Amino acid sequence: MLLQGAETWSLRVCDVGVGCQLDAILRAHDYISLNSDSLVAVNVSLGGVGWSQAWREAIADNIARGVVVVVAAGNSAVDIYGGDGKIGNGNEYIPTAFPEVMTVSLMIDQDRL
């Protein structure tokens, strides 16, 4: 699907000195759901280690309203499901570990071998 003329929106979720608070992240996803008639996709460029069922449900609501949620794989060189490979026990890299999202990664062959 080619999106020509797609409008770009920007939501500031993190504040310098404060960081990314979960309540601010959830408010952003609520805003996305409320405006889903005008949005096609959202790029979530934040994350961390832990688990949040509330965040997962907020993303699921975005998706249920027709918004594609794309997240960065992260640059932490960690398994997204933690060392045990299981989901939902608090050692995941989220939101990347949420099965509902589209995770995007970039790999560069720097040594050209």
CA atoms within 13 Å, Cβ hemisphere of 59: 24
Q: How far apart are alpha carbons 96 and 87 in whole angstroms?
A: 11
Band of pLDDT at residue 57, cut at 50, 70 and 90: very high
Query: pTM for the complete prediction?
Result: 0.84
What's residue 75's pLDDT? Answer: 67
Mean pLDDT of all residues in 91-98? 93
Higher-scoring residue by pLDDT: 100, 7: 100
Greater confidence, 28 or 110? 28
d(CA 53, CA 33) in angstroms, rounded, equals: 17
Which pLDDT score is estimated for 4?
67
| pLDDT reported for residue 72 | 85
Calculate mean pLDDT across residues 37-44: 90
pLDDT for residue 86 is more than 60: yes
